[in-house]
Amino acid sequence: MIEKGSKEDLSINKGLLDKRSYRFFELENGLRVMVVSTIETDERIANGHQPECNGTQPTREEHGILGDMEEMSAAALCINSGGFSDPEEAPGLSHFLEHMLFMGSEKYPGENDFSSHVSTCGGMMNAWTAQERSMFYFQVKTEHFLGCLDRFAQFFIAPLMRDSSVDRELEAVNSEFALAMTNDNNRLQHFLASISAPGSPYRKFIFGNNKSLRDIPLEKGANVSWLLRQHWKANFSADRMTLAIQSYSSLDELECRVREMFEAIPRRAFPAPDYSHFANCFETQEFNKFYKVCSVKQRDMLSIIWSLPSLLPYYQSNPTNVLADLLGDEGEGSILAALRKMHWATELYADACLTSGMRNTTFCSMFEVHVHLTKLGRENIRQVCGVIFDYIKVVLDSLVNETSEVESGLTKNLSQRFPNTFQSYLEERQELWKSSFLYNDPVEALHNCELIAEMMQIVPYTKVVSARYLIEKIDMELYVRLLKLMTPERACIVHQSSEFGRNLESDPNWQTESWFNIRYKSEELSKSLLETWSSSVPSTTGLHLPFKNIFISTNFGLLPKEADMQEPRDLNLDRDAEDRRRYGHLWFQRSAKFEAPRGSLKSIMHIHLWSPEMSGTKERFILQRLFLYAVEQSLSLVAYEGSVASMWYSVDFRLNGLLIHVSGFNEKLFLFYSTILKQILNELPIRSDDQFQAYKGAVRKKIVNWLLDPHSLNSFTYSYLLEKDSYMVDDMLETLDKQSAADLMSFAQRIFQHVRLTVFVYGNITEQEATSIYDYTIYRLRAVPLSERKFGDTAVYDPGTYHIRLLNTNPSDVNMCVTHFHMLGRTDLKTSVFCNLVAYVLNEPAFDYLRTKEMLSYYVALQPWVYRDGGSAHQAILLVCRSQATKFSVDHVSGRMNAFWYRIAPRIIAAMTKQSFRTCINALISEEQLKDTNMWCEYWRGYAEIFSRETIMFKRREKTVEILNTITQDDLLNFFLNEFLDPTRRRTLVVEVAAQTDSVKKLENSLQPVHVTHVEQVMVDREELERQAKSCAEVDVSAVMLTAGYDNQTAVTNLARTTTSFWEDDRHPWPNFDSTELITNVCSFRQRLKFDSGRYV
């Protein structure tokens, strides 16, 4: 209900920290809408101001808000239509339609107009298509929100879907599928769908590619453009849509804008499809089998999947989260703890998200448990399954048998702790999730809108914010019924492994799935095996429900807001801090600005331990990975229950040291941190060679998977050529093989003997508590203090172009990745601002030209790069394109990227109108002035200055705005020409990972596992460079400029007025490929590089 005199719908359940106002309403066309206002009160409305639906955005002065802090506004529209609605003659049509709606409307006919406008205004946009729902969303600076919202609405009112755009966007869909093909999670989900009952909507190929959207329609005499329009008319009906928008406007104003812009969406006469007759589509003989499935990447994953009734109607009892949290527990007595104890597994997670399109449909749900196996686990896979089935029995048994006390490894001083029964577990989780929901920070605008728009399709509007997080009603009968369905007899068991690829040719029983070309083999689950699992007694396995949680907070008190600090202060500079000062810095900032009505706040802290023994060689890098893996395995046992109680931690090697991150409610913060630190500093829990080999194998799989992914391989290669403490992936594997348990133990002892300690404590916490944390850390370390820490060394290149080409290590993967790395070297703040402005101006044009016009790739990115481990002193701009060898050669792709950077980009900067240039400046200024939506925004700014900057500058945002306000368009053009194009100054690193195939040959994409241990370089010759030069030179720049909406003559005129002496009116292709240095041996080239030494601080 909406209370009399109130403008907010008070029936909507939201957290105590969420000060936003919500209102739900329905348009005459049936569109259901939730508007969210970020104005904290509606006093201006109460004082008599009425909204004017004239298309103007109210200013902050009109709202009575002082200052110039900006906010982001967002919108999301969800449609009750997805891939399940695809027609038989065009699989993937819904996904294709999602792409086509972005290609202009009758009111805004420019192709890519929306994404270009949003990007120029400092925002972002995207969309996704799932099984039964599709989502479109964007966020932008508030001052530009109305213009973007009107363009957004036109997608659903009058999209153009031109025939001329069809081929280009089909290439984007096909490219997206080519990238998805190498993802083993995508492959597993599609495989499960493929073994549903014939005729089931799950069997539909919802990704789409050239075969499904071009070849099949052609064979069936269907016109794809006509199918797109018919599909839009049949499914994109206003009464099947839900819209959520959030902005800095009153609720009345937001409602007025929505009615004005979205009322014209047509309401169709077609009802939503009814799939209820497919409720049993997985209850088949084909589903209840054991499957061996080849993985593309290095993995050994066991998955057990059950088909359950649709759980969407039971949202109040939240069975998806209850079961996933229970079976996915990592603490003592859990499935994972038992498997780790026997060295059978390293990770486990349970998956059944309420909003998962695959796992929770309107007619059935799927519950999945996934286990990452060790080599020993792979040999005992039946026993691993047995542990999972036994745990379900333990849960059911706890309903009738109270659990006795059990010895705990977490609290030795308490000696014994009591596990929960299922009933007490549910009650505890109910209170934990309620506290977490009430006192957690509000999510950002875009995520809030996306969540609300989708949840309005599932639950009553009053529950859209809370339904995913709360157990409103404990329904024991429901939980028991579901657990009793999760039997061995009803399970589908899938073992994904790269090892299966070794014997494909010798075994004729391997089959091939048609769309992803998944190789698989099925085996019947014998009656004797099912009986063994069903009749086993779990009492001997050490399984029990989670202990009663010791990290639960009950005190949510808030410190006085008057003591808030504007920026961090180093407490170790105080007069009485001489002992602490020897160890390093203790930065502290109290902040209670994000309080709730009843008062609550968390605290956040990072603890950075630096020692020269932690980094500097490839051996230490590998030992870092092994140390982290061993620590994480032991930490999860003792710290997992903290994460359940809204405490959070991470441990990683960053900034050339060990970085510990802890956050949570204050009452238990110290207990949680001390538990984590003790575990890190304790002797590593490696009790046998089997255990060490399991850790080593898990680390090896991660490294090999970096090697198998062309994008990761590309990133590691340019990092190796830019950062001194980076290493080639094949070097990592060779080094890993040489490490022993003794090496790891020795490393763990050395790294904490001499330490520089930097700590940042922020939030609802006192100075005394912060100093206690610092003192405790010193006490536990017992280390010799170091007087300073050092940032990483960064490569310094002489002017020129440096070119290296590697091969994708999977010979049947058609994906390639090309990165052009345009270096600036060491920068000051002013140069950094110019660099960021260049990247901002060129980001959308690069995407539009390379992705939309040239159709090179679904993935194109142009963005600034900064080496944070090097103190953020070195900067560059990188241009990345991930393409497929079945479409283009690597020379063609690289040449077109050169054409954009050297020929098109300078013209774009030169031809921009004054208004467009000012819009870009204002967008970046707005980005620096974004209002903090929660404590994390303010915290991360302080973190970046303290840990990642050579020079700390807490007023960096203000100084950045000052610089931006002084930059003219001529300044930016001259900067780009002088720093990035001048042959005497420009420094470019080109890293290409090419596919192992001729681009003319159309591969079948039968991706299979590959066993690789090294990276193969390709010797590029001058003939190939000439092909790149040709690809660059043959671009008709005038036509590109015209299509993109720029005046080429204006560009030429403005370029002629610049101060540069090398610009020759583009009479020659750029760059001069004759002067390119070809890197023929990456290791030898690296040894010749000069490095700028990172500073000591």
Give per-10-residue mean pLDDT for the chain (1097 aa): 53 90 97 94 42 43 38 95 96 98 94 89 93 97 94 97 92 92 93 96 96 96 96 96 97 97 94 93 94 93 97 95 94 94 93 79 95 95 97 88 52 63 94 90 92 97 94 96 96 95 84 94 96 86 90 80 86 94 96 52 88 94 95 88 90 93 91 95 87 91 88 94 92 94 95 97 93 97 95 94 93 90 95 97 94 89 91 93 92 96 96 94 90 84 94 95 97 96 94 73 46 79 92 94 92 86 58 81 95 92
Location of structure tokens 């409720």? 279
CA distance 289 to 523: 6
Class of domain 561-785: alpha beta
Could you tell me if 207 and 92 are in contact, meaning their C-beta atoms sit under 8 angstroms apart?
A: yes
CA distance 844 to 852: 11
Q: Identify the burial level of 647 via C-beta atoms within 10 angstroms of its C-beta, where 0-12 means exposed, 13-18 middle and 19 or more buried.
A: buried
CATH topology of domain 284-441+459-530: Cytochrome Bc1 Complex; Chain A, domain 1 (3.30.830)
User: Structure tokens of 247?
Assistant: 């902005």
Q: Span 21-272: which CATH code? A: 3.30.830.10
Could you tell me if 44 and 91 are in contact, meaning their C-beta atoms sit under 8 angstroms apart?
A: no
pLDDT at 65: 26
Q: How far is CA 716 from CA 723, 730, 862, 1045, in A?
A: 10, 11, 18, 37
Location of structure tokens 């998955």? 303
Give yes or no for a cis peptide into 1071 (omega within 30° of 0).
Answer: yes
Could you tell me if 876 and 988 are in contact, meaning their C-beta atoms sit under 8 angstroms apart?
A: no
pLDDT at 408: 52
Nearest to 1005 by CA among 997, 1015, 1013, 994: 997
Strand 290-294 relative to strand 491-497: parallel, antiparallel, unpaired?
A: parallel
Number of other residues whose CB lies within 10 A of the CB of residue 1056: 11
Nearest to 856 by CA among 824, 886, 811, 901: 886
Tell me what percent of the chain is helix, strand and coil, each rounded to the nearest 5. 45, 20, 40
Q: How far is CA 878 from CA 296, 339, 723, 818, 981, in A?
A: 28, 44, 15, 10, 14
pLDDT at 416: 66
pLDDT at 1066: 56
| 284-441+459-530 against 797-1002+1015-1092: fold identical | yes
Any idea what DSSP says for residue 930? B
Q: How far is CA 77 from the centre of its chain?
A: 21
CA distance 134 to 128: 6
Rg (the chain; Cα; Å): 30
User: Structure tokens of 458?
Assistant: 């599932």
CA distance 461 to 467: 10
3-state secondary structure of 87: coil
CA distance 24 to 725: 54
Q: How far is CA 1073 from CA 983, 988, 1086, in A?
A: 11, 12, 21
Could you tell me if 810 and 1007 are in contact, meaning their C-beta atoms sit under 8 angstroms apart?
A: yes
Which are the contacts of 464, defined by CB distance < 8 A and separation ≥ 6? 12, 34, 451, 452, 455, 456
Any idea what DSSP says for residue 1095? P
What is the amino acid identity at position 887? K
Could you tell me if 213 and 90 are in contact, meaning their C-beta atoms sit under 8 angstroms apart?
A: yes
pLDDT at 1075: 80
User: Structure tokens of 574?
Assistant: 């105080």
Q: How far is CA 753 from the centre of its chain?
A: 36
CA angle 272, 275, 277 (to 5 degrees): 145
CA distance 821 to 836: 14
Q: How far is CA 793 from CA 617, 786, 865, 951, 1089, in A?
A: 13, 19, 16, 16, 11
Could you tell me if 728 and 1083 are in contact, meaning their C-beta atoms sit under 8 angstroms apart?
A: yes
pLDDT at 70: 65
CA angle 69, 926, 951 (to 5 degrees): 90
Number of other residues whose CB lies within 10 A of the CB of residue 113: 18
Nearest to 1062 by CA among 948, 999, 983, 953: 983
CA angle 931, 936, 939 (to 5 degrees): 95
Nearest to 749 by CA among 787, 790, 781: 781
Q: How far is CA 252 from CA 44, 182, 589, in A?
A: 11, 48, 38
Strand (E) or helix (H) holding 390: helix 381-397
Sign of CA dihedral 471, 475, 480, 481: negative
- Alpha helices (runs of H) in 440-502, residue ranges in sequence order: 445-455, 476-485
Q: How far is CA 585 from CA 564, 747, 781, 950, in A?
A: 20, 25, 15, 14
CA distance 923 to 150: 19
pLDDT at 350: 94
Nearest to 790 by CA among 393, 421, 1092: 1092
Predicted TM-score of the model (pTM): 0.88
Q: How far is CA 693 from CA 614, 634, 689, in A?
A: 22, 16, 6
Domain extent listing, the chain: 21-272, 284-441+459-530, 561-785, 797-1002+1015-1092
User: Structure tokens of 917?
Assistant: 């240039």
Nearest to 549 by CA among 435, 660, 662, 389: 435
Q: Identify the burial level of 158 via C-beta atoms within 10 angstroms of its C-beta, where 0-12 means exposed, 13-18 middle and 19 or more buried.
A: middle
pLDDT at 1012: 61
Number of other residues whose CB lies within 10 A of the CB of residue 226: 11
Strand (E) or helix (H) holding 403: none
pLDDT at 707: 86
- Residue-wise pLDDT for 165-191, tens only, equals 999 899 999 999 998 998 999 999 999
Class of domain 797-1002+1015-1092: alpha beta
Which are the contacts of 737, defined by CB distance < 8 A and separation ≥ 6? none
What is the amino acid identity at position 718? Y
- Residue-wise pLDDT for 499-536, tens only, equals 898 878 888 899 999 999 999 999 999 999 999 999 99
Paired strand residues for 816: 883
For the chain, the straight-line distance linking the first and the last C-alpha, in angstroms and rounded, comes to 58
Nearest to 52 by CA among 247, 246, 252, 243: 252
CA distance 761 to 773: 9
Backbone dihedral region for residue 215 (phi beyond 0: left; psi -120 to 50: alpha; all else: beta): alpha
Nearest to 559 by CA among 766, 404, 253: 766
CA distance 426 to 696: 37
pLDDT at 600: 37
Number of other residues whose CB lies within 10 A of the CB of residue 291: 22
Any idea what DSSP says for residue 222? -
